[in-house]
Chains A and B, each alone.
Chain A
Amino acid sequence: MKINNVILKTVTKVVIYIILTLAVYLFLAGHNSPGGGFIGGLVLSTAFVLLFIVYDIETIQKALPFDFKKVAALGAFLAVGTGFGSFVFDVPFLTQAFGYFNLPFFGEVELTTVTIFELGVALVVVGVVVTIILSISEDV
């Protein structure tokens, strides 16, 4: 018996964008308000988990052709890499820098190297959570 859960699929199509937006927001807002790489990554992965639950795995993997193990590895590389990056500027390991820049269109914006670090964290979280869920459910 195959259930055609149209409502769920339709709602998901809308909701998924809200979740993704929230995830990106949380990720970017982390520096000055609640949020950050970890929570952003987690929310992002819940979006993927929702997709996997509502649609079948093959479909999603076709739509999102990522190897999530590699995503996690890339994240870890970024997080550790920013640490080594500080050696280039002759400062201790993992020293972060920030500054205020006048960007066209955006106006004055605070840019900081923490964002790269946080991106690494987020990618690891997404990669690991999705890898775990996928490997367990594929084993069924």
Chain B
Amino acid sequence: MQSLNSCRVKIVYLFNCEIKSYLLQLDNFAKYFTIRNGGLILVSVNLLIIIPFIAAALILFLQKRVSRIHIGWFVLLIPIILFIFLVRYIPNIANGATYLHTINWIPSYGINFSSYLDGLSLIFGLIITGIGALVIVYSIYYLNENESLKHFYCYLMLFMGAMLGVIFSDNIMVLYVFWELTSISSFLLIAFWFQRKRSREGAQKALLITVSGGFSMLAGFIMIGNITGSFSFREIIAIIPDFYDHTLFIPAMLLILLGAFTKSAQFPFHIWLPSAMEAPTPVSAYLHSATMVNAGLYLVARFTPVFGGEGLWFWLVTVVGLVTMFWGSFTAVRQTDLKALLAYSTISQLGMIMSMFGMGSAALNNGYSADSVVYTQATFAALFHLINHATFKSALFMVVGIIDHGVGTRDIRRLGGLATYMPITFTIAMIGSFSMAGLPPFNGFLSKEMFFTSVLNIREANIFSLEAWGTLLPVLAWVASVFTFIYCMIVVFKTFLGKYQEERLEHPAHEAPVGMLIAPIILAVLVIAIFFFPNVLGDYLIVPAMASIFPAFAAEADLGVTISAWHGFTPELIMTIGVVVVGTLLFISLKYWKRIYALLPESWSFDSLYNAVLETVETSSNKITNFYMTGYLRDYLVYIYLFFIIVVGGTLIYTGALNFDIAGNAPIDAIDWFIAITMVVGSIAIIFAKSRLTAILLNGVIGYGVALFFVLLRAPDLALTQTVVETVTTVLFLVAYYFLPDWQKENSSRKTKSVNLLISVLVGAIFVVVALAVQNEKLFESISGFFENSYELVGAKNIVNAILSDFRGFDTMLEVVVLLIAGIGVFTLIKLKARKGEEELENK
């Protein structure tokens, strides 16, 4: 009754706690809806993340209800609402406000669903929702009603929600959850046309690479959590300076960088991005140019206040970025598929942004000083180019989609002369490509100039031994830009100008429907608008984002940079002119020097390395498994006994428990010797027995010998049982004798036999040694004294029986059940065995 009472108390207590937590949550809930900032109702950003997920769930029910209207129109509402929602935050964020909301998830582990809205996440949020809305408009015209639209939009909404979760999460563990959700939803989107083999392969590759990166990132996050004791970004940034010397600091940094690099398709993990081009074009435009690949950049930017200032971080991010930039642009020139070309160009541009984030982190090396501020300009340029890239690259992808849709091919060799048939598409493509190449009057020009400025600035820094290697950075950047120029020209000139080859196209070229053009036109207008009014963007979006990357600097200095299209004859301008001149010359002479790509054979690419690794892992693990899983019971017994020998024998030797002392042993009579020798002879004879009957009988000899020992050692119950059991089992043996195949002589090789002999002798020896050693190590008094009172306790004079049925009756009960199960088992095996014909069925 007492336990019942305490239970009741506990329940009441828990109930109270429950009520309290509910009240607390209600209280929190009320807070989300409080009116702030001059009447604007600011609902929590958490809601922003959750809305797309709710939409994703509802979409699945939508298609049945409305069949006449393309469901994309309903889905479109969501990014538009979210975009407007975020736009309303811009003035406050620009004034330095930040918003933090926490919903408890697993408070005991410090994992809470907390959203944090500041300048940095606002930029990404606007890109995700803004381009998301445009992509949905585009997809409405791109995908026809026969496609599985509800799945498409469901995955897309899942992705959007996950992406918003990544950028708005303050808690790194929650960020990781959303991070993997983006990987999964992008996997689903890439394989949207799952009937195609290449789509499935591309999806698998993307998932494998991004998830392994994500997993290492998780390890890094856990390390960070261990170092600082917190999973919250803001807390980590605040206390990380105390832990720069921590042993886990560098490993955590490397692991997190690995996650960022794999997600952002940095060298050499870039290979998944070109394969992911098998996805529908709206997906490529959205995921693989503007959002998912930016997640890694976001992570690097977010972690700059944590790890920036470390030499390793600077070098890794900068150099990997520049190498990616170069390799991406160099490889892009080689492509013949427009989408693959754009994929490599995305890789290249992401590398450029990544390297700028790296260069910007140099500012944190010595903390705030007036000299360091100049390096923050690189981060400013990175954020600026991030926005620019999102605009022009999405437009370009949409253009490629229009071409693909219109003429049925994306192969550059079959395209040409489309400008007359597709004037608007051509204009958009030209704007996008020239912007990407860094030409005025497009936004790419501004950010490319700023990129050169930052590369030149960093060359002159005398930190991180830059004075020795710093000159390499501008050179690499410049060469990469030349190749960027070349492939941009390829996009425009090879596709739209030149000879029109109608016979090689599937459909005659014609201008795209208006609906398909809406989104790229808006983006193209943005590209130009940003060129003419860059400072609006700078002041309202980038400066507040800089405040979150360089919190210490923002308090001291104005981190804003005035972007100007014309800033005199600077080295940057000369570099750009050089890019244009050299790029034009190289583009004209393309067919002469294109042969250098043949120098690098196909089998040397990272793609084939990936394939080879995947194949090798599979075949070698198969080999290893086949090597030890032979299917022979004998081999498995060998493993088991070897393990026994190594573990038990090793322990005996290691602990030195080999001492035994026979002084306390009872004297051995002649009859003992006689029985023992008989049993030894019998057991050795079994090994050499020529017929089965001999073996059975010899086995009986051993069994009755044991029974005799029981008699001699005064165990009458055991002796009785042993005798009868031995008899019954011998009878059983004889009954089964009839069914057994002929007794075969073991004809294994001498080597196998000697291994068997060695193992059996060792096992036997170890058992003997253990038995003797145990005899010597009696640590406690035996408990048998208790059972000697069995007559008083249970009224039985037979102690053995009293123990069996009374003191330890539970064991006996279960043994009886074991016996019953064995009987039923034998019965079913024999009576219910498969009839002819059923055997084959069973083996399938």
Contacts and interface: CB of A to CB of B under 8 A. Distances in A.
5 contacts: A34-B798, A36-B717, A45-B728, A114-B805, A136-B830
B801 A135 contact: no
Contact of B804 (A36, A49, A128): A36
A136 B738 CA distance: 10
Q: How large is the interface on B (under 10, 10 to 19, 20 to 34, 35 or more residues)?
A: 35 or more
Interface string B697-734: 00000000000000000001100110011011001100
Interface in B27-45: none
Contacts of A96: 794, 805-806, 809
Given A38-B721, A98-B794, A137 B819 contact: no
B831 A135 contact: yes
Given A45-B728, A83-B813, A39 B805 contact: no
Contacts, number: 138
A80 B813 contact: yes
Q: Ordered nearest first, which 7 A-B pairs have the shortest CB separation? A: A128-B823, A34-B716, A98-B795, A32-B797, A42-B724, A135-B830, A94-B809
B735 A137 contact: yes
A139 B778 CA distance: 51
B826 A46 contact: no
A3 B824 CA distance: 34
A73 B725 contact: no
Given A26-B720, A43-B724, A133-B731, A72 B823 contact: yes
A10 to B, nearest CB: 22
A131 B812 contact: no
Interface string A53-84: 10000000000000001001101100110010
Interface in A101-119: 110, 112, 114, 117-118
B827 interface: yes
A85 interface: no
B817 interface: yes
B810 interface: yes
Contacts of A80: 813, 817
A118 to B, nearest CB: 6
A11 B598 CA distance: 100
Nearest to B817: A76
B359 to A, nearest CB: 75
A127 B823 contact: yes
A131 B724 contact: no
B816 interface: yes
B581 interface: no
Contacts of B830: 135-136, 138-139
Nearest to A96: B806
Given A34-B800, A69-B827, A131-B826, 16 more contacts: A26-B720, A31-B797, A35-B720, A36-B717, A42-B721, A53-B731, A69-B824, A75-B820, A83-B810, A94-B813, A99-B795, A114-B806, A131-B823, A132-B827, A135-B826, A135-B831
B258 to A, nearest CB: 57
Interface string B785-808: 000000000111110111011100
Contacts of B721: 38-39, 42
Mostly, the A contact residues are: helix
A22 to B, nearest CB: 10
A129 B728 contact: yes
B731 A49 contact: yes
Nearest to A114: B805
A93 B810 contact: yes
Contacts of B831: 135
B810 A94 contact: yes
B736 interface: yes
B804 to A, nearest CB: 7
A140 B809 CA distance: 39
Given A83-B813, A117-B805, A135-B831, A34 B720 contact: yes
A136 to B, nearest CB: 5
Contact of B717 (A34, A114, A128): A34
B822 interface: yes
Contacts of B716: 34
Interface of B is mostly: helix
A118 B830 CA distance: 29
B810 to A, nearest CB: 6
Interface residues of A, number: 51
Contacts of A133: 731-732, 735
Contacts of B738: 140
Contacts of B800: 34, 36
Given A93-B810, A129-B728, A36 B805 contact: yes
Given A39-B717, A39-B724, A69-B823, A30 B731 contact: no
B805 A42 contact: no
A36 B795 CA distance: 15
Contact of B798 (A33, A73, A117): A33
Interface string B652-670: 0000000000000000000
Contacts of A137: 735
Nearest to A80: B813
Contacts of B820: 72-73, 75-76, 124, 127-128
Contacts of B819: 72, 124-125, 128
A45 B819 CA distance: 14
A36 B798 contact: yes
Nearest to A134: B827
Given A46-B728, A128-B820, A31 B801 contact: yes
Contacts of A98: 794-796
B817 A136 contact: no
Contacts of A42: 721, 724-725, 728
B843 to A, nearest CB: 22
A31 B793 CA distance: 13
A36 B735 contact: no
Interface in B429-462: none
A37 B805 contact: yes
Nearest to A127: B823
B823 A114 contact: no
B803 to A, nearest CB: 11
Contact of A79 (B802, B816, B823): B816
Given A120-B816, A124-B816, A124-B820, A136 B736 contact: yes
Contacts of B813: 79-80, 83, 94, 117
A76 B796 CA distance: 23
B401 to A, nearest CB: 72
Among B739, B812, B820, the one with the most A-chain Cβ atoms within 10 Å of its Cβ is B820
A34 B813 CA distance: 20
A103 B55 CA distance: 84
B795 A30 contact: no
Contacts of A128: 819-820, 822-823
A27 to B, nearest CB: 11
Contacts of B732: 132-133, 136
B480 to A, nearest CB: 79
B826 A33 contact: no
Contacts of B822: 128, 132
Nearest to B715: A34
A30 B735 CA distance: 31
Given A133-B732, A140-B738, A114 B810 contact: no
Contacts of B816: 75-76, 79, 120-121, 124
A118 B794 CA distance: 15
Contacts of B720: 26, 34-35, 39
Contact of B728 (A30, A34, A49): A49
A91 to B, nearest CB: 13
Contacts of A69: 823-824, 827
Contact of A136 (B717, B824, B826): B826
B101 to A, nearest CB: 55
A31 B798 contact: yes
Nearest to B830: A135
Contacts of B794: 96, 98, 112, 114
Contacts of A131: 823, 826-827
A109 to B, nearest CB: 11
A138 B823 CA distance: 15
